[in-house]
Chains A and B, each alone.
Chain A
């Protein structure tokens, strides 16, 4: 069965600074990888996904993530954050040909002026 570990529970960052959120996964088969964002009192919204092909994936709101198979990682980055990026971010993994999406515990990003 697959599992996801998000290495940072909280990440404080100043506005216009870069941010990186770390995600490692465990699976014995090929996987699909996702990052979701949850703004306060809202549902989860898909930021980006890796299915196959290029290991650098670009998503909405200027976010990107890089799939590293040898390190079983899928870290999320943004070169310059805004106050509006304050939210909780979830990494998720799904094994190919499986319906189940397993989520990490989440990383809370707080952007300060």
Chain B
């Protein structure tokens, strides 16, 4: 398996623009997580999907953030409009079941909003 695949690896955008981050989980994994990593706040869970259904989005910072999982092999995280404080590395991770075996992380998307 190719692992969790995220795209793009790097994104630089201007404040106010829409940004879409993409994730392809490992085939067969039924749980998907979006995390944000910053120096100040460390790793923060943004949203959790189970069987393509959003279960917990309490970590989504504002209404500017939205996430979808239209099928078992694809998820998006959208920021509209983007702001400089959204600059961070965004990770997608997947697992089978409750994550007893741990999560498998993608390589992340480094977002810079200028």
Contact = CB atoms under 8 A, between A and B. Distances in A.
Interface of A: 32, 34, 36, 42-46, 49, 51, 90, 94, 97-101, 103-106
Contacts of A44: 91, 93, 103, 105
Contacts of B56: 99-100
What class of interface size applies to chain B in its complex with A?
Answer: 20 to 34
B31 A43 contact: no
A101 B99 contact: yes
Nearest to A95: B98
A94 B101 CA distance: 11
A97 B98 contact: yes
A104 B41 CA distance: 10
A-B pairs, 10 with minimum CB distance: A43-B105, A103-B43, A46-B102, A44-B105, A43-B107, A105-B42, A99-B98, A34-B102, A43-B108, A43-B106
Contacts of A90: 43
Contacts of A42: 107-108
Contacts of A101: 33, 45, 99, 102-103
Contacts of B50: 99
Nearest to B107: A43
Specify the main secondary structure of chain B where it touches its partner: strand
A48 to B, nearest CB: 9
20 contacts: A42-B108, A43-B107, A44-B105, A45-B105, A46-B102, A46-B103, A94-B98, A94-B99, A97-B98, A99-B50, A99-B55, A99-B98, A99-B99, A100-B45, A100-B48, A100-B56, A101-B33, A101-B99, A101-B102, A105-B42
Contact of B91 (A43, A94, A100): A43
Contacts of B99: 94, 99, 101
A42 B55 CA distance: 27
B100 to A, nearest CB: 6
A46 B107 CA distance: 13
Contacts of A99: 31, 48, 50, 55-56, 95, 98-99
